[in-house]
Structure 1
Amino acid sequence: MTQIRTYGGWRPRRGFGVGRLSETQTAVVAACVLVPLGCWVAIATFRLPLLVLPITVAAALVGAALTLIPHRGHGTSLGGALVITARTYTARRKGWNTWESGVLTKHPRRHELPGVLAPIMPLSTRDGLGQPFGVLWDRRTGRLTASVRVAPIGTVLADQERTDLWIGNFASWKASLGFEPTIDWVAIVVESAPSSGTELADYVADKLDPSAPAIARATMAEIADAHRGATADISVRVNFTFSPMRARPQPRDDAERVAEVSRALSGVEGDLPLCGVATLGRATAGHWTRWLRSAYDPDSRGELARLAETDHLLAWADAGPMESESLHDHYWHGSGWSVSWAMADLPNQQVTSTVLAPLVTPGRYHRRVAITYQPYPADAAAEVVTKEASGAGFRRQLRRRRGVDETARDRADEQRAIQATEEEAHGAGVGLWAMYVTTTVTDPRELPDAIADLESRARNAKLRLRRAWGWQHVAFAASLGCGVYPTELARRGRWAR
């Protein structure tokens, strides 16, 4: 009997949270208990009015309720859901959820892309070998994002030994990212869409030999016409987001920042072929423009494919949609209607090498899967996993003192925390995983079917996705892999500035 080879070992970061509470929730609950006690001591010591105590207790109860009561729709606490709702209402009231572009623009045009992509613009440069490539410059944060186009070899025809080698090399490659101080995060984007009705016919017509027999040419044309829309357009790219200002010596101008990114990119892209993919080269500014335009305007995919063959360069102003509007449950942009999800939980059990195949396999609807990985610096990884192991031991001691029986899930969580510490000591990398998935249709009546199809694929891939209620446009931008990271966006704002 052949034994099925499994991999895995993911574990959510928990810190010193008590029970199933996070560190933040534990701190808030502790404050809700200690603040009323401190208030009572202050009243008894300084003879303050007794009215202060009921107000403090009421505020503590409200704070505890907002922190502990979960909101299943948003995947956060009730307080977090109220914050998201308030931000969404503010954005709608100020008109930030709509976008218009072109000669009939109603608002002053300051940017080329809508929403969180507004500060981004492309830069064209050349690598050390003189080959052109493009980077996306975030004018607000100074980050630069570059992309490497790849073609996965696949494990269908590969033996188990070769598959294990590729997965092991991928793990080593992830660990090496922690030694590059300028890398913020990596996004692996897999995009699939049904081919346009004329794409296959145009390809066959371009390859036909005029000197071939007429019956051969007619047969090929007939076959191509019979299979209109039966093929799929698949693209895979690995995007790297850099913070060049963290380099030493620090770059002094834009040219040195781009040169630093090119140097760092050369170090990490060279090992990608060892992970079971063939590199097709770095993406140029033209590639970025066509990717964004096809995402915002899916009806233009066929025309963009023909322009790509002639190496026609679109202007950056053509990358975005003419109009867009972010609604609570979906995002309308140009000729497409999209729904996006964020990953809520990774599989808790060991998985096979093809666990994500149902999610990334082409289907009837346009789908884009972006897997992001934020590596911890190599010098901080040991501290992170040690803290997680200490937190698991702290929860075990707390359960023992309280007389609470240990469950199988608690034991497995502690074992995974200890295993992560041992693996990091042997050279494994440590990082934060996330995933953003978007499905797009050109007819809004097909949206319910596309949603059901994607959610079914996610269940088959053993993933738990959470629909991005209220922030569909942000999840859509995150799935593009253009340097937008929702976790980092949440830390921005008036107080951060």
Structure 2
Amino acid sequence: MSEQTTYKEPTYGNWRKPRTAGIGKLGALETMAMIAALLVLLFIFRLAGPIPGFIAFIVLAVALVVFTIRDQHGQSRITRMLAKRAHRKAVNRRTNLYRSGPTGLVPGGTAQLPGLLAKSQLHQFVDSFDRPFALVFMPDTNHATVVIECEPTGLALEDPQTIDTYVANWGGWLADLGKQSDVVAASVTVETAPDFGVRLRQWVDSNRHPDAPPATVQMMEQIKETFPQSAPVTRAFLAVTVTAWRQGAPRPRKVEDLGIDLAARLGKLTEHLEQCGAGDAHPVTAQTLCEVVRSAYDPAVAQHIAAAHAESVTPALSWNDVGPIAHNSGWEWYRHDSGFSKSWVMSVAPRGEVFSNVLEAVLSPTGEVDRKRVTFLFRPVSAARAMDVAEKDVNAASSRANSTNTPNFRAIDDYAKTVQTAKEIAKDAGMLNFGVVITATTRYAEDALAVSYTMEDLAAESQLTVRPAYGAQDTAFAASLPLGLVLPDYVMVPSKIREAV
């Protein structure tokens, strides 16, 4: 008799926040600042006496508390104070307001995209499979992004072994990005929006037989009215961002050169996505991308776009017309044309080990939310640097674990994770930095509070610790769009300093 083996569903995890070596919970920069403060304190005690020294001690202690004590999202008090001050400054200068169109301040009277997307350019090329594809070029960072639309079949009817294969293939697809020297980022956007039923109504009306039984006509009329209310549309987009700079090149590549290069590589990027559970994957055209962005900034226009397509009419849209006519970026909310949105960013990934369906709650359609986008941001570490980064993380985690005679469990667990990561990278695994941006949009401001509670509950159900993008709602909204924005490249503070804190 053959022995039957029982299937054991695998778990996933081992992600961690990269941290530099320091004393206890402090980073490298904070540790150096504390040592410098102690040296200054000793000199004050020695040269000025005990009273000035005691006063200096109080001042330095308060400063240490302000800079080092963090909340559950990893934010210090000084970080929150600086964010509020920056937003208050923007409100005073009215730079949080935007007006475009014929009565706005944009030259030419166009509805140009605001904020970080203001200088973006849209081009269209044809790949090696004769498929037109859009290319979004960002002059400020010399980044170019191609967008791929996927049609995932869902996991409801899939057996666990197939799901595990999808996850493994997806991990391999992401790992391959680190082996391409010019790929700087990738993102996956899952958007759920209401189905207006325009195409359904047009199809039912055009196929109605004049002699159809009254009961059948009544049933189809009920379907026309009820189906759009219970069947939201889910769309998935994958954006891959490359840099125009090539290592050793004297100057960045031109947009035309980037288009030719990506046209030859786009087939390879899409051919393996079906094995990741993405279904049919095809590049997004410039027209489709314009419609996606226009509907995001003005949700009311989505119904008109659907009605035009039902009549086989292509809406006339250009990249200069897809931005909002007006927006108001508040501290916690973002008002744009006919939409009222709020965005959250992930501060802590799911802790411990999780199953493959951990994000099902936050990704599934939600009746209480008109439109919802969940965007996963990936920044691959090049295969040439991955092992060096892993070894540096191991050394930093080991230093923190051994900085005290009785290291806490979190430091020990962090060290174990870095060792496991180094072992996997030695076996040709990939390394990525990742984050999550969630945006919920409603048509009516009075529903905003209920939508906020719903989204935070869904994030908690998916074991995501999220915080509102306070003071940066317009930026987070743009980052959630499938346009390949690489936010760290727009931050004025150098990355080495940010990582050391």
TM over 0.5: yes
1:377-420 deviation per Cα after TM superposition (whole angstroms, max 9, x unaligned): 111111111111112211222222xxx2x443333222111111
In terms of mean alpha carbon deviation, does 110-119 or 270-279 score higher? Answer: 110-119
- What corresponds to 1:28 in structure 2? 33
Aligned to 1:170, the other structure's residue is in SS state: helix
1:334 Cα deviation after fit: 0.4
Equivalent AA in structure 2 for residue 226 of structure 1: T
1:13 to 15, 18, 24: 18
- What corresponds to 2:165 in structure 1? 165
User: Equivalents in 1 of 2:146, 2:443: separation in Å?
Assistant: 29
The verdict on how the C-alpha distance between 1:111 and 1:306 changes in structure 2, with shifts beyond 3 A counting, is closer
1:341 to 336, 341, 344: 344
The verdict on how the C-alpha distance between 1:448 and 1:202 changes in structure 2, with shifts beyond 3 A counting, is farther
User: Equivalents in 1 of 2:24, 2:56: separation in Å?
Assistant: 26
Equivalent AA in structure 2 for residue 416 of structure 1: K
The answer to whether residue 330 in structure 2 is matched with residue 327 in structure 1 is yes
1:447 Cα deviation after fit: 0.5
Aligned to 1:175, the other structure's residue is in SS state: helix
User: Equivalents in 1 of 2:106, 2:57: separation in Å?
Assistant: 49
Q: Is the 8 A contact 1:273 1:279 kept in 2?
A: yes
User: Equivalents in 1 of 2:285, 2:431: separation in Å?
Assistant: 31
Equivalent AA in structure 2 for residue 148 of structure 1: I
1:115-149 deviation per Cα after TM superposition (whole angstroms, max 9, x unaligned): 22111121112112332111111122221111000
- What corresponds to 1:225 in structure 2? 225
Q: How does 1:113-124 map to 2 (within 5 A)?
A: 113-124=113-124
Q: Is the 8 A contact 1:71 1:81 kept in 2?
A: no
Aligned pairs, number:
483
Q: Is the 8 A contact 1:245 1:257 kept in 2?
A: no
User: Equivalents in 1 of 2:281, 2:351: separation in Å?
Assistant: 35
1:289 Cα deviation after fit: 0.9
The answer to whether residue 314 in structure 2 is matched with residue 315 in structure 1 is no
Aligned to 2:10, the other structure's residue is in SS state: coil
The gaps in structure 2 that reach 5 residues or longer are 1-5
1:339-377 deviation per Cα after TM superposition (whole angstroms, max 9, x unaligned): 100001011211111110000100121110000110001
User: Equivalents in 1 of 2:395, 2:291: separation in Å?
Assistant: 48
Q: Is the 8 A contact 2:147 2:238 kept in 1?
A: yes
- What corresponds to 1:185 in structure 2? 185
The answer to whether residue 139 in structure 2 is matched with residue 136 in structure 1 is no
1:377 to 368, 375, 382: 382
User: Equivalents in 2 of 1:29, 1:264: separation in Å?
Assistant: 50
User: Equivalents in 1 of 2:302, 2:308: separation in Å?
Assistant: 10
Aligned to 1:236, the other structure's residue is in SS state: strand
- What corresponds to 2:460 in structure 1? 459
Aligned to 1:227, the other structure's residue is in SS state: helix
1:258-300 deviation per Cα after TM superposition (whole angstroms, max 9, x unaligned): 2223334443333212211123410111111111111111112
1:323 Cα deviation after fit: 0.8
- What corresponds to 1:362 in structure 2? 365
In terms of mean alpha carbon deviation, does 208-217 or 135-144 score higher? Answer: 208-217
Q: Is the 8 A contact 1:148 1:279 kept in 2?
A: no
- What corresponds to 1:205 in structure 2? 205
User: Equivalents in 1 of 2:349, 2:203: separation in Å?
Assistant: 40
- What corresponds to 2:3 in structure 1? none
Equivalent AA in structure 1 for residue 232 of structure 2: A
Identity %: 25
User: Equivalents in 2 of 1:15, 1:200: separation in Å?
Assistant: 56
1:25 Cα deviation after fit: 2.9
User: Equivalents in 2 of 1:446, 1:225: separation in Å?
Assistant: 23
User: Equivalents in 1 of 2:445, 2:142: separation in Å?
Assistant: 37
1:255 Cα deviation after fit: 1.0
User: Equivalents in 2 of 1:111, 1:468: separation in Å?
Assistant: 25
The answer to whether residue 481 in structure 2 is matched with residue 476 in structure 1 is no
Q: How does 1:51-66 map to 2 (within 5 A)?
A: 60-61=60-61, 63-66=63-66
User: Equivalents in 2 of 1:328, 1:264: separation in Å?
Assistant: 41
Equivalent AA in structure 1 for residue 360 of structure 2: A
Equivalent AA in structure 2 for residue 392 of structure 1: A
2:397 to 388, 392, 411: 392
The gaps in structure 1 that reach 5 residues or longer are none
The verdict on how the C-alpha distance between 1:24 and 1:190 changes in structure 2, with shifts beyond 3 A counting, is farther
The verdict on how the C-alpha distance between 1:317 and 1:253 changes in structure 2, with shifts beyond 3 A counting, is closer
User: Equivalents in 2 of 1:205, 1:184: separation in Å?
Assistant: 49
Q: Is the 8 A contact 2:100 2:325 kept in 1?
A: yes
Q: What is the RMSD of the two structures over their aligned residues, measured on CA atoms?
A: 2.9
1:214 Cα deviation after fit: 4.9
The verdict on how the C-alpha distance between 1:460 and 1:212 changes in structure 2, with shifts beyond 3 A counting, is farther
